[in-house]
Amino acid sequence: MGDRSTAIIASFNGGEVSPRLRGRVDQGLYPISCETMDGWLPLIQGCAVTAPGTIFVEKAAGPCRLIPFEYNVTEGYVIEASAGRLRFYTNDVRIETAPGVPYEIAHSYTIDQLRSLDFQQSADVLYLVGGGAPMRKLSRTGAESFTLADLTLRGGPIGDGNIDEGVTISASAATGAVTLTATSALFAAGDVGGLIEIEASDFSDIAAWEPGIEVTTGAKRAFGGKVYIYSGGGSGRTGTVAPFHDSGTEWDGSGTGTDINGKGPYGVPWTFLYGRFGLVRITAFTNATTVSATVLKPLADSVVSEGSWRWAFGVFSARRGWPDSVCIWNECLVLTKDNTAYVSVVGDYENFARRDASGDFQRDLAGSFTLPDPARINWARADRLLLLGTERAEYTVERVLTQTEAAGPPIFDVRLQSSNGSARARPVQADGRVLFVQRALRKLMEMAYSIQTDRYDAPDLTRLADHIGARGFVELAWQQEPERILWAAQADGRLAALTYSPGQQVTGWSTRRLGGGMAARSLCRITEPSGQRDQIWIAAELGADTLILRMAPIWQQGDDPLGAMLVDAGLSYSGAPVAAGVGAAHLAGQVVQVLADGKPHPDITIGPAGGWAISYPAARVTLGLAFPARLKPMPLEAGASEGTAQGKIKRIAALTLRVLEAQGLRVQVQDGELFPIETRIPADPMDAAVPLFTGDLPIETIGDFDREGGIVIERFQPVPATVTALIAAVEVGEA
């Protein structure tokens, strides 16, 4: 004789787990996890809520990447970046110059370059790097206007200096437009736009400035690594205040009066000429030994008269390469190329000058460091330290200032943290942690500081759902409000969702396939216009078209069911009752689900021009593509007198579904028929939408004996549903 027991599934926030865990009934995660959670989201509280639908916004110009630009929490923009053009969305609509005419900015990126871009926003400027393209910045110039320009850095960064004294560069003049001539084949066409730093070869022909010395007009004097010229005026005798300025003209004394011994007056004006280090930007290529340039910092006379072997090219140019990633850290802009990072002057993001006017290094000036790992840095993110991910490992970097060394070049303490290796996909920061994609694209890693180990640990967040990671992660977006969910676009076009709350020890995965065979190719997050909830925007392919979609809000208790959007690429109508409409051209020829005044309507087919018709007038109509919503808990572990119920034949004799504000569900028990659950009660009016049901729904079905005891719940109508528990009475056989 068998056993009869009652099992309850009281939580689903373990999410969908790997088939490899089907036998792990010994783990606390087992009873709260699912074999399948597609089109449902596990919430922190334990319930499973139907995943939201998506709202059609516009057709994109073509395949594109979505880039967020959030000026503040009530002024967010989504940038549709497709080959050759940028389009902009704000307040849930596209910015247009006239009805149907999108506001656009032209650019030269290819779609492959756009997909490789990294970006960092600072107030109304978005820095764009990567894709093997020149650095650019997108500036917001008004509520609905932007400009895109090349990013021209000041002062550097500068690479390693020349060490061959036989290879010199000379200039035709010390300032203005000049011609540079090299004694060896140094230049190429790709150097145009790049920098060259040229140090004075010799200061021996410039006398040092001294106090109380007679000088004549045109005299040059050197002090503190800078050279000045006396152009007349004053007493003709130097004062006692040494010149130290790096621009313009200043006096070294008053130039009037006498001292207590009746001598004087002292003091003349000195005009700054140049420092030890000059800087030029190449403007045109002539041949391998000759280029044209513009002087940015005056060159020394010796560079003009005899040339100098003390020179160094700038790090960035078409010939030498462009940055791969960017971030802002400790009031500095950080740019990475290969395995080296370049850090701007503190508080001056576009200034990478590594020396002051005297040629000295200062701790608040720009610096750089190279990782011991030769692999390319794929991302940089600011945390309590600077975090870097290379193709092989993850590092932290700290800027060090010792008490005994107040001056000198910046010192960076680089430390290895983990050896997972990172993909190019941009990480997100969530709940005080950095979440990044491992180099094989199959794992999502969590990088967080551990006080116990005094390092940044990087556990695998997909270790219990490896089958989800097997589809590959392409792009990430963190939605903090109203639920804490990480969304990921995957290589096969699906969305994956991770309900993530490490403080509550919740990391539950689910999947979200788009309706109509659509494939998600890009996604991003901005705050909705009210500034309260986060929005997820998606670029999805449907046939030959790319659609811009906005994810509807995740259902919250008390929301208006008439406004529910539980379809994909959906449209909604609100107004006087109608039985037909237009505007669905993006769904032409598609079979769609319809919700009319809160009532599920039989599916309809959209006309070739986007027209639609329903069988009765309605004041609120929502229509769009149906998407799967299937929930299957792990095989029941109901218990038996002789130990586990696993592997024994069993029958579900009774089933109760506990729901919160639910409609449109159907259930399958032990591979039986899927049958809908009726929630209408006699008091409900027959000519109105059935109210959402909250409570226990007893399922009048008896399963057939099998060894698994499977239960499947599906949402098959475009209405909300939240499942809070399953209670099953199970008869377990002896074998």
Q: How far is CA 730 from the centre of its chain?
A: 48
pLDDT per residue as tens digits for the range 5-61: 788 889 999 999 998 888 788 788 888 999 999 999 999 999 999 999 999 999 999
- Confidence check: pLDDT of 99 > 60: yes
Query: What is residue 50's predicted lDDT score, i.e. its pLDDT?
Result: 96
Q: Say what percent of the chain tops pLDDT 70.
A: 95
CA-CA distance, 505 to 329, in Å (whole number)?
A: 29
CA-CA distance, 172 to 186, in Å (whole number)?
A: 17
Gap between the terminal Cα atoms of the chain: 10
Beta bridge partners of 192: none
In order of their start, the domains of the chain are 3-50+645-732 (2.60.120), 169-203+277-313 (2.40.10), 319-422 (no CATH), 568-625 (no CATH)
- Confidence check: pLDDT of 240 > 50: yes
Q: Of 449 and 437, which is predicted with more confidence?
A: 437
In 257-376, which ranges are E strands?
A: 269-275, 277-287, 290-297, 311-313, 325-329, 332-337, 340-343, 367-370
> Would you place residue 643 in the very low, low, confident or very high pLDDT band (cuts 50, 70, 90)?
low
What is 529-581 written as a DSSP string?
TTSSSEEEEEEEEETTEEEEEEEPPPP-TT--GGG---SEEEEEEEEEEEEEE
Mean pLDDT confidence for 390-406: 78
Amino acid at 396: T
User: Three-state DSSP class for 222?
Assistant: strand
In 205-331, which ranges are E strands?
A: 207-208, 220-223, 226-229, 249-251, 269-275, 277-287, 290-297, 311-313, 325-329
Q: Of 251 and 686, which is predicted with more confidence?
A: 251
User: Using an 8 Å Cβ cutoff, are 324 and 378 in contact?
Assistant: yes
412 exposure class (CB count in 10 Å sphere: 0-12, 13-18, 19+): middle
The two beta strands, 54-59 and 101-102, are unpaired
> Would you place residue 1 in the very low, low, confident or very high pLDDT band (cuts 50, 70, 90)?
very low
User: Using an 8 Å Cβ cutoff, are 472 and 442 in contact?
Assistant: yes
- Confidence check: pLDDT of 406 > 90: no
Assigned token pair, 498: 């991770």
Mean pLDDT confidence for 600-629: 96
Q: Of 150 and 733, which is predicted with more confidence?
A: 150
pLDDT per residue as tens digits for the range 571-602: 999 999 999 999 999 999 999 999 999 999 99
- Confidence check: pLDDT of 407 > 60: no
pLDDT per residue as tens digits for the range 475-504: 999 999 999 999 999 999 999 999 999 888
Query: What is residue 401's predicted lDDT score, i.e. its pLDDT?
Result: 66
> Would you place residue 126 in the very low, low, confident or very high pLDDT band (cuts 50, 70, 90)?
very high
For the chain, state the CA radius of gyration.
Answer: 34
Query: What is residue 106's predicted lDDT score, i.e. its pLDDT?
Result: 97
Q: Which contiguous run of DSSP H or E holds residue 115?
A: helix 111-116
Query: What is residue 179's predicted lDDT score, i.e. its pLDDT?
Result: 96
Query: What is residue 735's predicted lDDT score, i.e. its pLDDT?
Result: 65
Going by C-alpha positions, the residue among 218, 213, 221 that lies closest to residue 240 is: 213
Query: What is residue 357's predicted lDDT score, i.e. its pLDDT?
Result: 65
Q: Which contiguous run of DSSP H or E holds residue 298?
A: none
How many CB atoms are closer than 10 A to CB 294?
Answer: 13
State the chain's mean pLDDT as an integer: 91
CA-CA distance, 193 to 645, in Å (whole number)?
A: 73
Q: CA 512 → CA 126, 494, 497, 683, 709, distances in Å?
A: 31, 6, 7, 36, 25
- Confidence check: pLDDT of 140 > 80: yes
Compute, in degrees rounded to 10, the torsion defined by CA atoms 416, 417, 421, 422: -110
